[in-house]
Structure 1
Amino acid sequence: MQTATLVTHEEYFDLSAKSDVKLEYNSGEVTAMAGTQPAHNILAANLFIEFGKCLKKKGCVLFSGDQLIKVEHCDKYTFSDLVIVCSKPIYEKSPQGLNALQNPEIIIEVLSDSTEPYDRSEKFDCYKTIDSFREYILVSSRKKRIEVIKKLNEAEWLSHTYTKDNESVQIGDCLVLLEDIYSTINFSE
């Protein structure tokens, strides 16, 4: 029987500072993030471009997928594809310089076959424990489909799914056409 070696937060940050790949932390276990497919990268870039200007005008900060998020209740450090904060960002600073965002408000995940079950269940459940978290966006990389899940109160979340090109997807106070988010994506490749 093989026993996993658990690491401390400090050891995780040391490993992350030396690593060429992004590492996530889950209660002492460290996992390397896999690379992504072209559709995933294009969608993340399109979302960043399309929502970036509007969010900036609203006084929000839009972070790319390289921003580490701390989920204290779950003893987790994780990455999303995009994260939005409309108040002043609060960070847990590490001596190694990798600062973890503590107050994400809107989190966007571009789904892949390998990550979708985790993003929809355990990861979402952990994000829900963050007081500032109020909106979760799940973007399909296999078909035109975006699910926006908004917090109504501590126990209730409302989900709306967008699938039509001419629909305006609302994230925060910003609206963008679904067809613009999926621009240049060819699902037959």
Structure 2
Amino acid sequence: MTDSLEKSVLSVSDYLNWESQQPEKHVFFGGEVFAMTGGTLRHNLATVASVLAFKSHLAGSPCKVFSGDVKVAVNVTEHWFYPDVLVTCSAQDLGDMSAVAVSEPVLILEVLSPSTQAYDRGQNFISLQKLSSLKEYALLDAETARLEVYRRNAAERFELFVFEGTDCEADLASIGWRGPVASLLD
């Protein structure tokens, strides 16, 4: 994220109306709007590889994978953002394919970048924990081939699982996926 574009507080409906007319994507948080920055080639390759790995794995299931053009409404009055990769299995989310947002993802994966990693590890993760549907929040570091998976446990707390190295076998229990970290990188 970058600096706030608007210092005045916007309502969600004002944000959604305004953003639908913008050529760039924007995050909405607490009434403020933040322009999203572009990613690197490495970031994009990791996003595409992750989408393809999950799409292939989920073929024939009721779950669908989406990339950075679909918003997540964490709290419909407080936080709307575009994750790099998300998976939802919700009939409500998938009932209207012309919708621009989902509200019941089971998995969100962010490809880390220097400009957003503090936000992804901090405020974004704090906010995402409000989504009762969210089973896992994954952070992929494409430079170091490291996947950090925050998995919701039986006590409704998130536990950290780390998979390091291209050959390391990673797993995402929320969607039943297993594979080497390298399969999410290129």
- Per the normalisation by structure 2, the TM-score is 0.87
Bigger radius of gyration among the two: 1
Give secondary structure in 1 for the equivalent of 2:122: helix
Q: What is the distance in 2 between the residues matched to 1:130 and 1:50? A: 24
1:108 is matched with 109
What stretches of structure 2 of length at least 5 have no aligned partner? 1-5
Identity fraction in percent: 23
2:157 is matched with 156
Deviation by residue 1:130-171 (Cα, 9 ceiling, x = unmatched): 110110110013211111111004552221111133222212
Give secondary structure in 1 for the equivalent of 2:105: coil
The aligned amino acid for 2:137 is: Y
- Number of aligned residues: 178
The alpha-carbon deviation at position 100 of structure 1 amounts to 2.1
C-alpha distance 112-173 of structure 1, shift in aligned 2 (>3 A): same
Deviation by residue 1:71-112 (Cα, 9 ceiling, x = unmatched): 117711111001101232438x9xxx7632111110000001
What stretches of structure 1 of length at least 5 have no aligned partner? 184-189
Q: Where has structure 1 moved over 6 Å in runs of 4 or more?
A: none
- Per the normalisation by structure 1, the TM-score is 0.86
Aligned alpha-carbon RMSD (Å): 2.2
C-alpha distance 149-37 of structure 1, shift in aligned 2 (>3 A): same
Q: Does the 8 Å CA contact 1:106/1:136 hold for their aligned counterparts?
A: yes
| 1:64 is aligned to 2:67 | yes
2:125 is matched with 124
Give secondary structure in 2 for the equivalent of 1:18: coil
Q: What is the distance in 1 between the residues matched to 2:158 and 2:7? A: 36
Q: What is the distance in 1 between the residues matched to 2:63 and 2:71? A: 17
